[in-house]
Chain A
Amino acid sequence: MEINVLKALGSAVVTTSVVLTAVAAQAADYPARTVEVIHQYGPGGGTDRFIRAIAEPMQEATGQSFVPISITGGNGVPAYVSFLQRPANGYTLVSLSPDDVINAALGRIDLSQVMPLVRIQYDQGLLLVSKDSALKSLDDLLDAEKANPGGIKVGVTGSAGFDDALIGLFNEKAGTELATVPFGAAEMVSNTLGGHVDMMYEEYGPTRGLIESGDLVPILLFSDERLPELPDVPTAKESGYDVTLGRWRGFGIKPDTDAAEIETLVSLFRDASANEGYKKIEADSALQYRSEFQGPDEFKAFIDEEIATYTEIMKQLGY
């Protein structure tokens, strides 16, 4: 009984959009058990690790676990469908990323069935070559393309996903014909190091060890500004090709979830993303520069923009 009153009070406060003192609006007994976060990537991958990292402070705050559930394959569609099949009780979240937006842009899934909850990370990617590569810079790359259009092969992960969209957009802006070759994440690195593919696209976090040892050499960054970690690596933007797309990571929930529970989750995520331990993990992967916390409304507006952007890109790429 008391619970219902609290929940009702919570919804009332939200709907009348009174300035919230977050505590009053939150569901007092939520979460009462483990919250599952469905994602489409492998265990141990970037998103899986991100969920574990952000869950740590949330666990401390609530005493409940937040566990990643990995449903891989099928370009993320099976993960999303599994999420839709779960009840709207606040105990199932879904990870959202540009891959989901691209799926929506290609008509594979309907993103209106999910309520964007929070966006937490915003990454930036690099073009990387092996230390033995003849291509040492963006200029080398452009010259090689001019001499032999379509001759440069770029290793990417995923098929017709985010990486393809980014390389496609770069081709559009730079007038190049870089061809993408999809690999698994590990084979992409080994094929680049082994010289089977000319270069690869990847974020800083997973490649940091190989960059620091000098085996992989970053030649181009896709972001607004250079990374302090890699001060010599130019951005595509400063070279005149306005490609700043990055992989972002956030969460969604069923739209008909109790409003007070949503409010609780948002404030839990907000606190967790500012947590010192979590911040350190972000900094390990140079993720702190573009990662700006977004609540439900901002995130929704952001995703709508992204859908428009990617619909346009995918159309230009002929998908």
Chain B
Amino acid sequence: MLDAFISAAGYMLGNPMSFLLIIFSVIWGIMFGAVPGLTGIVGVALLIPFTFAFDPTQGMLLLGGVYVGSTFGGSISAILFNTPGSPEAACTSLDGYPMAKRGEAGKALGIALAASAVGGIFGTLVLMFAAPPLARLALEFGPAEYFALAVLGITAIASIGGGSLIKGLIAGLLGLAVALIGLDPLTGVARFTFGNMMLLTGVSFIAAIIGIFALAEVLQRFADGLHKAEAITEVSTKLPSWAEFIATKATLLRSSIIGTIIGALPGVGATTAAFISYSEAFRWSKRPELFGKGSAEGIAAPESGNNAAVGGSMIPLLALGIPGSATTAVMIGGLTIHGIVPGPMLMQNNSDLVYSVFIGMFLANVLMLVFGLRAARLFALVLKAPYPLVGPAIVVLCMTGVFALNNNVSDVAVMLVFGGVGFLLKSLGLPVASFIIGLVLGPIAEVSLRQGLILADYDFVAMATRPIAGTLLLLSVLSLAYGVWGQLRRRPPQDPPNPQAEPERA
């Protein structure tokens, strides 16, 4: 392995162009991540024709750097404008924007950046040193395990809003219901599309989150009136102090591990990783009441989780030739165009390529720290403009971005509708976090449950008692009980806690 690293490093030093490509790709990635509607997938897909000009290794360095940069980039607009620039950053809005509104935009961006780098470097290290065994571990995950994992995330909906159990459940179940729209994934029958052909795709997740976060926020600001609107004044970016950073170390470690594992699972990627990291951070937090109101852990968790998932999703790609995410699926296309056969032999037959990608992704994560700071400052300049100018500009940008995503006008309609939905949720005090978790994890839970049932000949017990699935489901039940108990405990004294829930403390 050391030989391979030295040989790959030799290759990169012999081709200084490689370093230029990494720098370019990280900047390109951050930009694509930050602009709503332009996602990492688009950024990677657009660069594929350019890789023809280089050899396959340099091409992969280019694509890997974009992937790293774009996963962080989304958090910039999520924090500054409540506009997740890419789906994996949706979760970052939940706490990043409230912190920015408090006047601590710089700190929020700093936490996001530092957490992204920690998660990214963690994921890359695991990729470097444990790709083949972890790829084999990922193969142990069948539909039953995906289902259990999704359930574990979904159990957070009841408590995550910080408010009432009932409101959390209502919002979460609404999210699950919206996730049902579209073609039935197993039988191909249209559900709740009301004859609209374009809705067969289902509600586009990106269009929905941009509506719920960005558009709803603009509506809210205008509804509040301009005088009431808090101005985000501090726009400088600084990394969090060492003490602040250390305070989130448990969250960073947990989220990095979760992110790497989820990234390594084919079909689920950085977005799922961000949400499960977030709900676990909430569950284990000493101060869960701060979540949704600008908690540092609430920013660190999704950002370290989604960036760890980048390294994670490269694991099955490089070890088995199976893409771990939508972006790596595009990369596989890029590889085969160069005549490289992705598969288990890749690490042996093209070890220079594989190990160069390892080194390149590591460098990209470090460079992200440098350019992330600069990019965030650049974007933050927009905040100096008065909101009556910025608000409409955000709406226009979101609409063009959402359209460009899939060249689909009905996505714009979906975004507008969900702007209204987001506004309503807020007005009714229903937690947006629960709604989005239902929307993200619902489809995974549904499809994998049904696949798992077919495979188990419709024997749910057989499906739920598989070792990994059973453990995850048991954890879900325990954490649900723990969450309910926590809520009851926090109630005011005139409302005595339910004695039955006490034993769950263990």
Do A49 and B185 touch across chains, with their CB atoms under 8 A apart? no
Partner of B407, one of A48, A69, A161, A179: A69
Chain B interface (Cβ < 8 Å from any Cβ of A): 41, 45, 48-49, 52, 138-144, 182-188, 197-202, 265-267, 316, 320-324, 326, 329-334, 336-337, 339, 341-346, 406-408, 451, 454-455, 457
Do B324 and A186 touch across chains, with their CB atoms under 8 A apart? yes
Partner of B454, one of A72, A179, A205, A280: A179
For the complex, is A226 an interface residue (Cβ under 8 Å from B)?
A: no
For the complex, is A30 an interface residue (Cβ under 8 Å from B)?
A: no
Q: How large is the interface on A (under 10, 10 to 19, 20 to 34, 35 or more residues)?
A: 35 or more
From A49, A160, A190, A284, residue with most partner B Cβ within 10 Å: A190
**B183's closest neighbor in chain A, by CB?**
A74
CA A260 – CA B111 in complex, angstroms?
60
Partner of B337, one of A52, A179, A181, A184: A52
For the complex, is A197 an interface residue (Cβ under 8 Å from B)?
A: yes
Partner of B188, one of A42, A159, A186: A159
Do B331 and A209 touch across chains, with their CB atoms under 8 A apart? no
B217 to chain A, nearest CB (A): 28
Q: Which residues of A contact B337 (CB under 8 A)?
A: 49, 52-53, 281
Do A160 and B454 touch across chains, with their CB atoms under 8 A apart? no
Partner of A208, one of B142, B331, B343: B343
Q: Which residues of B contact A182 (CB under 8 A)?
A: 185-186, 451
Q: Which residues of B contact A69 (CB under 8 A)?
A: 407
For the complex, is A316 an interface residue (Cβ under 8 Å from B)?
A: no
CA A161 – CA B182 in complex, angstroms?
16
By Cβ-Cβ distance, the 7 closest A-B pairs, closest first, are: A209-B343, A74-B200, A44-B333, A196-B142, A73-B201, A160-B188, A194-B139
**B199's closest neighbor in chain A, by CB?**
A74
* Contact A186-B266, Cβ < 8 Å, known A43-B41, A44-B330, A77-B200: yes
Q: List 5 A-B contacts (CB under 8 A).
A: A49-B337, A52-B337, A186-B329, A209-B346, A215-B344
For the complex, is A233 an interface residue (Cβ under 8 Å from B)?
A: no
B137 to chain A, nearest CB (A): 10
Q: Which of A143-199 contact B (CB under 8 A)?
A: 151, 153, 158-161, 179, 181-187, 189-191, 193-194, 196-197
Q: Which of A58-72 contact B (CB under 8 A)?
A: 69-72
CA A44 – CA B320 in complex, angstroms?
17
Partner of A42, one of B316, B329, B336, B346: B329
CA A70 – CA B316 in complex, angstroms?
24
Do B266 and A43 touch across chains, with their CB atoms under 8 A apart? no
Contact flags A192-227 to B (C-beta < 8 A → 1, else 0): 011011000000010011101101000000000000
Do B185 and A191 touch across chains, with their CB atoms under 8 A apart? no
Partner of A209, one of B316, B330, B344: B344
**B454's closest neighbor in chain A, by CB?**
A181
Partner of B142, one of A73, A160, A194: A194
Do A159 and B326 touch across chains, with their CB atoms under 8 A apart? no
